[in-house]
Copies of this chain bind each other. A is one copy, B any other.
Amino acid sequence: MSGNDAAAPKRIQIIEAATVVFSQKGFYKAKVEEIAEAAMVGKGTVYEYFKSKQDLFQQMLIFISQKYEQAVKEQVQQVDSFSDKLRVLIEANFNFSEEYKNMAKILLIDAPPMSEELHQIIQQSKRQNLQRLAALIDEAINKGQARRVNSYLAAQVILGALAVSGGQVMFEDEFTSSKESVTELVDIILNGIGY
Protein backbone atom coordinates (compact mmCIF):
# COMPACT_ATOMS: atom_id res chain seq x y z
CA MET A 1 0.00 0.00 0.00
CA SER A 2 2.91 2.34 -0.57
CA GLY A 3 2.12 5.81 -1.71
CA ASN A 4 4.55 5.16 -4.45
CA ASP A 5 2.73 2.16 -5.77
CA ALA A 6 -0.60 3.76 -5.26
CA ALA A 7 0.33 6.74 -7.34
CA ALA A 8 0.88 4.59 -10.40
CA PRO A 9 3.25 1.76 -9.91
CA LYS A 10 4.88 -0.10 -12.73
CA ARG A 11 3.20 1.95 -15.42
CA ILE A 12 4.79 5.20 -14.37
CA GLN A 13 8.09 3.49 -13.69
CA ILE A 14 8.11 2.29 -17.25
CA ILE A 15 7.05 5.58 -18.74
CA GLU A 16 9.74 7.39 -16.89
CA ALA A 17 12.34 4.92 -17.99
CA ALA A 18 11.01 5.38 -21.50
CA THR A 19 11.46 9.14 -21.38
CA VAL A 20 15.08 8.62 -20.51
CA VAL A 21 15.84 5.99 -23.09
CA PHE A 22 13.80 7.45 -25.93
CA SER A 23 15.35 10.84 -25.25
CA GLN A 24 18.82 9.44 -25.49
CA LYS A 25 18.41 7.09 -28.39
CA GLY A 26 15.38 8.13 -30.34
CA PHE A 27 12.49 5.89 -31.14
CA TYR A 28 14.11 3.40 -33.44
CA LYS A 29 17.37 2.84 -31.65
CA ALA A 30 15.74 2.47 -28.26
CA LYS A 31 15.17 -1.20 -27.46
CA VAL A 32 12.18 -2.31 -25.47
CA GLU A 33 14.42 -4.50 -23.40
CA GLU A 34 16.59 -1.54 -22.57
CA ILE A 35 13.61 0.42 -21.36
CA ALA A 36 12.48 -2.56 -19.30
CA GLU A 37 15.90 -2.75 -17.70
CA ALA A 38 15.93 0.96 -16.97
CA ALA A 39 12.52 0.54 -15.38
CA MET A 40 13.77 -2.47 -13.49
CA VAL A 41 11.01 -4.71 -14.72
CA GLY A 42 10.96 -7.69 -17.02
CA LYS A 43 10.62 -7.21 -20.73
CA GLY A 44 7.26 -8.95 -20.70
CA THR A 45 5.95 -6.54 -18.11
CA VAL A 46 6.18 -3.66 -20.52
CA TYR A 47 3.61 -5.45 -22.62
CA GLU A 48 1.32 -5.82 -19.66
CA TYR A 49 0.98 -2.07 -19.57
CA PHE A 50 1.46 -1.05 -23.17
CA LYS A 51 0.16 -2.62 -26.33
CA SER A 52 3.36 -2.07 -28.23
CA LYS A 53 6.55 -0.08 -28.39
CA GLN A 54 4.72 2.57 -30.30
CA ASP A 55 1.96 2.65 -27.79
CA LEU A 56 4.51 3.15 -25.05
CA PHE A 57 6.06 5.95 -27.06
CA GLN A 58 2.71 7.62 -27.47
CA GLN A 59 1.76 7.29 -23.84
CA MET A 60 5.12 8.71 -22.94
CA LEU A 61 4.60 11.65 -25.23
CA ILE A 62 1.27 12.36 -23.62
CA PHE A 63 2.90 12.09 -20.24
CA ILE A 64 5.62 14.51 -21.21
CA SER A 65 3.30 16.98 -22.84
CA GLN A 66 1.23 17.04 -19.69
CA LYS A 67 4.32 17.76 -17.67
CA TYR A 68 5.16 20.49 -20.12
CA GLU A 69 1.71 21.97 -19.90
CA GLN A 70 1.96 22.03 -16.15
CA ALA A 71 5.41 23.46 -15.99
CA VAL A 72 4.63 26.25 -18.38
CA LYS A 73 1.08 27.10 -17.48
CA GLU A 74 1.63 27.41 -13.77
CA GLN A 75 4.72 29.49 -13.98
CA VAL A 76 3.36 31.83 -16.59
CA GLN A 77 0.37 32.58 -14.42
CA GLN A 78 2.54 33.66 -11.55
CA VAL A 79 3.81 36.79 -13.20
CA ASP A 80 1.92 39.69 -14.62
CA SER A 81 3.52 41.77 -17.31
CA PHE A 82 3.68 40.44 -20.80
CA SER A 83 7.43 40.59 -20.99
CA ASP A 84 7.71 38.71 -17.73
CA LYS A 85 5.38 36.04 -18.97
CA LEU A 86 7.49 35.76 -22.09
CA ARG A 87 10.62 35.50 -20.04
CA VAL A 88 9.14 32.82 -17.83
CA LEU A 89 7.88 30.89 -20.80
CA ILE A 90 11.28 30.94 -22.39
CA GLU A 91 12.99 29.89 -19.22
CA ALA A 92 10.55 27.07 -18.67
CA ASN A 93 11.33 25.93 -22.15
CA PHE A 94 15.04 25.96 -21.55
CA ASN A 95 14.64 23.83 -18.49
CA PHE A 96 12.22 21.47 -20.10
CA SER A 97 14.39 20.98 -23.13
CA GLU A 98 17.30 20.33 -20.88
CA GLU A 99 15.44 17.51 -19.20
CA TYR A 100 13.77 15.86 -22.15
CA LYS A 101 16.26 16.67 -24.81
CA ASN A 102 15.01 15.17 -28.04
CA MET A 103 11.51 14.74 -26.81
CA ALA A 104 11.08 18.46 -26.46
CA LYS A 105 11.89 18.88 -30.10
CA ILE A 106 9.21 16.42 -31.04
CA LEU A 107 6.61 18.35 -29.13
CA LEU A 108 7.75 21.66 -30.49
CA ILE A 109 8.37 20.63 -34.02
CA ASP A 110 7.16 17.30 -35.20
CA ALA A 111 7.84 13.66 -35.35
CA PRO A 112 8.93 11.68 -38.32
CA PRO A 113 6.07 9.93 -39.99
CA MET A 114 4.77 7.38 -37.59
CA SER A 115 1.30 6.22 -36.97
CA GLU A 116 -1.43 8.59 -37.94
CA GLU A 117 -2.68 8.32 -34.41
CA LEU A 118 0.61 9.49 -32.98
CA HIS A 119 0.74 12.24 -35.51
CA GLN A 120 -2.60 13.45 -34.23
CA ILE A 121 -1.40 13.41 -30.67
CA ILE A 122 1.62 15.44 -31.50
CA GLN A 123 -0.29 17.86 -33.65
CA GLN A 124 -2.70 18.40 -30.88
CA SER A 125 0.00 19.03 -28.37
CA LYS A 126 1.64 21.52 -30.64
CA ARG A 127 -1.60 23.26 -31.37
CA GLN A 128 -2.34 23.63 -27.71
CA ASN A 129 1.07 25.02 -27.19
CA LEU A 130 0.71 27.49 -29.99
CA GLN A 131 -2.77 28.51 -29.02
CA ARG A 132 -1.84 29.15 -25.44
CA LEU A 133 0.97 31.38 -26.57
CA ALA A 134 -1.16 33.08 -29.20
CA ALA A 135 -3.78 33.74 -26.54
CA LEU A 136 -1.10 35.24 -24.36
CA ILE A 137 -0.13 37.54 -27.19
CA ASP A 138 -3.71 38.46 -27.96
CA GLU A 139 -4.22 39.32 -24.36
CA ALA A 140 -1.16 41.52 -24.46
CA ILE A 141 -2.44 43.15 -27.61
CA ASN A 142 -5.76 43.86 -25.97
CA LYS A 143 -4.01 45.28 -22.93
CA GLY A 144 -2.05 47.51 -25.22
CA GLN A 145 1.18 45.79 -24.30
CA ALA A 146 1.79 44.45 -27.78
CA ARG A 147 1.36 45.57 -31.38
CA ARG A 148 -1.50 44.26 -33.48
CA VAL A 149 0.48 41.46 -35.04
CA ASN A 150 -0.80 38.13 -36.25
CA SER A 151 -0.68 36.48 -32.88
CA TYR A 152 -0.58 32.98 -34.24
CA LEU A 153 2.33 33.74 -36.49
CA ALA A 154 4.09 35.54 -33.68
CA ALA A 155 3.60 32.50 -31.50
CA GLN A 156 5.23 30.46 -34.19
CA VAL A 157 8.18 32.75 -34.34
CA ILE A 158 8.66 32.52 -30.62
CA LEU A 159 8.34 28.77 -30.42
CA GLY A 160 10.54 28.39 -33.43
CA ALA A 161 13.21 30.49 -31.85
CA LEU A 162 12.89 28.44 -28.70
CA ALA A 163 13.05 25.14 -30.47
CA VAL A 164 16.29 26.20 -31.95
CA SER A 165 17.95 28.40 -29.39
CA GLY A 166 16.70 26.51 -26.40
CA GLY A 167 16.89 23.02 -27.65
CA GLN A 168 20.58 23.32 -28.38
CA VAL A 169 19.22 21.83 -31.54
CA MET A 170 21.20 23.62 -34.06
CA PHE A 171 23.95 25.53 -32.47
CA GLU A 172 25.15 23.18 -29.87
CA ASP A 173 28.70 24.26 -29.31
CA GLU A 174 28.60 27.87 -30.35
CA PHE A 175 26.15 29.20 -27.99
CA THR A 176 25.30 27.39 -24.85
CA SER A 177 21.98 29.02 -24.42
CA SER A 178 22.42 30.75 -21.10
CA LYS A 179 20.18 32.71 -18.85
CA GLU A 180 21.68 35.94 -20.13
CA SER A 181 20.51 35.20 -23.59
CA VAL A 182 16.96 34.93 -22.34
CA THR A 183 16.92 38.65 -21.71
CA GLU A 184 18.21 39.40 -25.14
CA LEU A 185 15.82 36.92 -26.68
CA VAL A 186 12.90 38.63 -25.02
CA ASP A 187 14.20 41.95 -26.20
CA ILE A 188 14.45 40.80 -29.77
CA ILE A 189 11.03 39.27 -29.71
CA LEU A 190 9.44 42.31 -28.13
CA ASN A 191 11.26 44.97 -30.04
CA GLY A 192 12.38 43.26 -33.18
CA ILE A 193 15.72 43.92 -34.72
CA GLY A 194 14.86 46.97 -36.84
CA TYR A 195 14.23 50.51 -35.72
Which residues of A pack against B, CB within 8 Å?
24-29, 82-83, 102, 104-106, 108-113, 123, 126-127, 130, 137, 140, 144-147, 149-150, 152-154, 156-157, 159-165, 167, 169-175, 181, 184-185, 187-195
Contact = CB atoms under 8 A, between A and B. Distances in A.
B188 A175 contact: no
B28 A112 contact: yes
A123 B157 contact: no
Contacts of A123: 172-173
A193 to B, nearest CB: 5
Given A113-B25, A189-B193, A192-B189, A160 B149 contact: no
B189 A157 contact: yes
Nearest to A127: B174
A147 to B, nearest CB: 6
Given A83-B194, A105-B111, 15 more contacts: A24-B113, A25-B112, A106-B112, A109-B109, A109-B163, A109-B167, A130-B171, A140-B193, A145-B194, A149-B193, A153-B185, A159-B164, A159-B170, A188-B192, A190-B192
